[in-house]
């Protein structure tokens, strides 16, 4: 996990611009910094060392003059090495991305399994930029005159470029010669599974494989544990492979003292035999970190901010112990876990869920990436593994409908019966901001953020009219560091 910058300009790349951009995202890679000019492209990399600690520094070279900067992890890199038509110089998983980018095989990029955004440049002017199909890893770009700029975060770009910032589309590649093209669809389809027992078995084995893949690391790792279904299942699956990480799985929870998430997480950790850590905070601490949180997640959407605050404080605590953490992101979008899914007609729910997963890169995944990388911590999301996403799409939509008076994600709960205490397995969902007690704290103190009772009608230049005093407060914080970013990148939504 890292931060990357690329400045491509046929008239000559502006290295000073690249250095400024890399400076602004240095927090993403506290373990090293590397830059290189390769023909018309300047590459910059801020490294968080996870795999091949000694030889994985970037930009990473090939034997034929290509250089790569990669953000993310390629989980199947060992298998790709076995079939690649070239020798690898390092044990870094990033070299598999480099190999795929310069391969003559048109399907090579699609064979990468993991989360990634990368740029591979050659002195002859060739450049390949690509992003994983879900968009787990962030990538933004600016096209201005002859130059094309790329970076892991919006804050990297100079103020003059921010109005031109676009989200680089997941599952796409770009080169200066061929332009933008999709290399893999998010949903590949397949025959619907009609045998419920088979579906339950596949859910167990597919998710376990996804979790196991994401335990690949040369550094300690852990799990964010809210005590809800999704993170508890990830923790349970990690515990089955604890011997592969030295016999210990670290779990981390955050919230106000006595909040439901903290209590439930403690119970799950004890049941699974995890080494548990807690970050308890009060209202003053919440308000103190709000400006940093808004700047980190690059959004002022209230639901996103409320859930990001406990995540930010949790990541801060977690980074003291481990460098990699697994999370439960994506389960609600795959298995209809949000309250508003109850109001969607069954005939429309399948498309609703497909759209939700496709839009995660601009919402929850943005929050997840930013709050962890603000503290030099890598987050991995097993529910968004390619095989899990494909499996969920093959399940009859009637099995995923959250019945009006029943619990959401019933199929997922049924698949893992006996893996967790029943009161955890069948615990009703709470939004992270609610379960951690943060939403209640913020509701009580929101008046302190915007004390003027006549706030209605006030606008922050370049941003939509705020829907509440709370949102206005976050817009003000946002504008301090990210003024000019297009509002279209800052999605609004009901459930975070």
The residues annotated as belonging to the active site are 2
CB 359 within 8 A of CB 495: no
Closest to 493 (Cα-Cα) out of 343, 294, 302: 302
Alpha-carbon distance 118 to 141, whole Å?
A: 12
Would you say 237 and 421 are in contact if contact means Cβ atoms under 8 Å apart? no
Q: Rounded to an integer, what distance in angstroms lies between the CA atom of residue 168 and that of residue 135?
A: 9
3-state secondary structure of 149: strand
d(Cα 464, Cα 301) in Å, to the nearest integer? Answer: 11
CA gap 42, 67 in Å, rounded:
10
CA distance 17 to 156: 10
67 three-class SS: strand
Residue whose C-alpha is closest to residue 374's, from 295, 484, 279: 295
Do 138 and 121 touch, CB atoms closer than 8 A? no
Q: Which long-range contacts (CB under 8 A, 24 or more apart) does 94-101 make?
A: 94/51, 94/56, 94/58, 94/60, 94/68, 94/70, 94/118, 95/60, 95/68, 97/68, 97/70, 97/72, 97/130, 98/60, 98/62, 98/66, 98/68, 98/70, 99/62, 101/66, 101/68, 101/128, 101/130
CA distance 109 to 85: 14
Residue 491 near residue 169 (C-beta atoms within 8 A): no
3-class state of residue 454 by DSSP: coil
* 3-state SS, residue 64: coil
Q: Is 369 annotated as a binding residue?
A: no
Taking Cα atoms as reference points, which of 129, 127, 126 lies closest to residue 171?
A: 129
2, two tokens? 């890292």
Binding region for L-glutamine: 93
Q: Which residues are annotated as a binding site?
A: 93
């Amino acid at each position: 996990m890292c931060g990357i910058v690329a400045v491509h300009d046929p008239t000559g790349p502006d290295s000073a611009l690249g250095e400024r951009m890399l400076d602004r995202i240095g927090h993403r890679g506290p373990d090293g910094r590397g830059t290189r000019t390769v023909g018309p492209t300047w590459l910059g990399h801020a490294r968080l060392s996870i795999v091949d600690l000694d030889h994985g520094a970037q930009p990473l070279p090939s034997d034929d003059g290509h250089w790569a900067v990669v953000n993310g992890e390629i989980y199947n890199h060992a298998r790709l090495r076995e079939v690649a038509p070239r020798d690898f110089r390092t044990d870094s998983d990033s070299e598999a991305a480099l190999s795929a980018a310069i391969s003559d095989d048109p399907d090579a990029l699609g064979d990468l399994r993991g989360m990634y955004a990368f740029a591979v440049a050659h002195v002859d002017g060739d450049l390949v930029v690509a992003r994983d199909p879900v968009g787990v890893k962030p990538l933004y770009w600016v096209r201005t005159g002859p130059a094309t700029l790329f970076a892991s975060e919006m804050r990297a770009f100079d103020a003059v470029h921010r109005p031109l910032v676009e989200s680089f589309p997941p599952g796409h590649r770009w080169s200066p010669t061929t332009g933008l093209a999709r290399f893999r669809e998010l949903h590949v389809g397949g025959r619907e599974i009609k045998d419920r027992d088979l579906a339950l078995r596949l859910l167990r084995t597919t998710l376990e494989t996804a979790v196991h893949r994401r335990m690949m690391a040369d550094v300690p790792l852990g799990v964010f544990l809210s005590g809800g279904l999704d993170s508890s299942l990830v923790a349970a699956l990690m515990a089955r492979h604890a011997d592969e990480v030295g016999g210990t799985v670290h779990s981390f929870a955050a919230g106000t003292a006595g909040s439901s998430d903290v209590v439930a997480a403690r119970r799950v950790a004890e049941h699974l035999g995890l080494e548990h850590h807690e970050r308890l905070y009060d209202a003053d601490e919440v308000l103190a970190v709000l400006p940093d949180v808004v700047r980190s997640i690059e959004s002022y959407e209230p639901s996103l901010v409320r859930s990001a605050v406990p995540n930010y404080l949790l990541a801060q605590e977690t980074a003291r112990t481990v460098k990699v953490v697994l999370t439960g992101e994506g389960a609600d979008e795959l298995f209809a876990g949000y309250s508003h899914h109850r109001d969607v007609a069954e005939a429309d729910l399948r498309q609703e869920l497909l759209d939700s997963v496709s839009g995660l890169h601009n919402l929850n995944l943005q929050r997840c990436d930013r709050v962890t990388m603000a503290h030099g911590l890598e987050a991995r999301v097993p529910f968004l593994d390619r095989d899990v996403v494909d499996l969920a799409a093959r399940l009859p939509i009637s099995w995923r409908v959250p019945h009006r008076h029943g619990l959401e994600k019933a199929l997922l709960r049924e698949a893992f019966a006996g893996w967790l205490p029943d009161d955890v397995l069948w615990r009703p969902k709470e939004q992270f901001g609610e379960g951690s007690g943060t939403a209640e704290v913020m509701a009580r103190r929101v008046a302190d953020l915007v004390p003027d009772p006549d706030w209605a009608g006030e606008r922050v230049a370049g941003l939509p009219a705020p829907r509440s005093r709370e949102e206005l407060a976050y817009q003000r914080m946002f504008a301090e560091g990210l003024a000019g970013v297009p509002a279209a990148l800052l999605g609004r939504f009901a459930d975070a």
